[in-house]
Amino acid sequence: MDKLIITAAITGSRNTRESSSHIPYTPEEIVQSSIECWNAGAAVVHIHVRDPDSGLGVQDIELFRQVVEPLREKTDLIVNLTTSGITGRNLPFEDRLKSLELKPELASFDAGSINLGGGVFINPPDFLDLAAESMNRLGVKPEIEVFDTGMITTALAMRDQGKLADPLYFQFVLGTPFGVSAKPKSLLHLTEIIPENSIWSVTGIGRAHLPMSMLALAMGGHIRLGMEDNLYYSRGVLASSNARFVERVVRIANESERKIASPAEARAMLGLSK
């Protein structure tokens, strides 16, 4: 079985300190939490940045820079920058793609629209074309985020049109309010309809976090975890840091004899060249 790639989704755009005081907000906090996750075994960090006043996600290139530069200096982490900014708020296309200017190795590619965050998270065909073209040009590999089954249909059509290149890298985000449910059968179905040479990772939102990780461990998939998707370490107990999620999965992986991929090994598996 392939070594396990752990992605830590450090902060996201919508969970605020009203829900958990442990969420990293500032660039310094995001860097610190990323380094802790790296030390614990994460190969990839998925990064959003936050508006210092509202605490919500923004696509501010300077804030991204304050995260990306120290991470490149101090770690060999694979940096994955968001292109959603804040789901459901639908920033202008150009703003959403600003993070690509920093040429991250990976960037999120939300392969379709869906009801989310009290609104519609809009990812129309012209945005997807622009995102794919921009990532192609800048040498950024799309991490195809799948909230619903049709997003795989979309990604496969774009691959057939030569807009997305093999091997496709899918991030299944299961258990959002109106997307694919976080059930074993859902995950099985998704993994069966992607091309065989694809690489997939999964995260479960909220209480689905750990069960989805366990399934990925057993199935040979990869795992995303972190406070973007879940704030609770166990029932009623907030996670004190993102690293605690990483440490738990590493412990379980060790027990189940699934080896953890280093950033260099994850790069080779994902076809990234640093």
**Least distance from Zn ion to the Cβ atom of residue 228, Å:** 5
Distance from the first to the final alpha carbon of the chain: 24
Which positions touch Zn ion (CB under 5 A)? Answer: 82
**Least distance from Zn ion to the Cβ atom of residue 57, Å:** 8
| Residue 73 CB contacts under 8 Å (≥ 6 apart), including other chains | none
| Residue 245 CB contacts under 8 Å (≥ 6 apart), including other chains | 8, 209, 225, 226, 230, 233, 239
Give just the sign of the alpha carbon dihedral 82, 84, 86, 87: negative
Using Cβ positions, the residue closest to Zn ion within the complex turns out to be 82
| Distance, CA of 171 to CA of 223 (rounded, Å) | 9
Q: Among residues 82 and 134, whose Cβ is nearest to Zn ion?
A: 82
Specify which residues 45 forms β-bridges with.
8, 79
Give which of 249, 153, 183 is closest to 239, Cα–Cα: 249
**Least distance from Zn ion to the Cβ atom of residue 87, Å:** 8
Q: Among residues 13 and 258, whose Cβ is nearest to Zn ion?
A: 13
**Least distance from Zn ion to the Cβ atom of residue 110, Å:** 9
Q: Among residues 128 and 253, whose Cβ is nearest to Zn ion?
A: 128
**Least distance from Zn ion to the Cβ atom of residue 71, Å:** 16
**Least distance from Zn ion to the Cβ atom of residue 218, Å:** 25
Q: Among residues 82 and 191, whose Cβ is nearest to Zn ion?
A: 82
What does the radius of gyration of the chain's CA atoms come to, in whole angstroms?
17
- For residues 113 and 120, is the Cβ–Cβ distance under 8 A? yes
Angle at 273 between CA 272 and CA 274, to 5 degrees: 115
Q: Among residues 82 and 123, whose Cβ is nearest to Zn ion?
A: 82
Q: Among residues 33 and 82, whose Cβ is nearest to Zn ion?
A: 82
